Amino acid sequence: MAQIDLETFRERVRGMDFERGTPEQVALWREDVADARANLIIEDMTPSDDDDALFAIMLDEGAPPSLMASIILGLYKPGMHPAAG
């Protein structure tokens, strides 16, 4: 599997226009993502380090969980290297 260019991904998310969460909201979202990750591990679907990094970047940038899947899908074009520069 190809490595994800995390800095390019961060730059692209940072440049997107969406309503960012407040620090209080992001703190709650971090807890929710941690709970979801724990559930995935229980189901033997442990996220990769790249998966964890992508979600950490989105939380760092204040992306609401309801937009995370759309953000990822919008940045990953079929047939292209993910988050290529």
pLDDT of residue 78: 61
pLDDT of residue 2: 58
pLDDT tens for residues 37-49?
Answer: 999 999 999 999 9
Give the Å distances, CA to CA, from 26 to 47, 72, 76: 20, 18, 24
Looking at residues 13-19, what average pLDDT do you find? 94
* Most distant pair of Cα atoms in the chain: their distance: 38
Q: Is residue 80 scored above 70 in pLDDT?
A: no
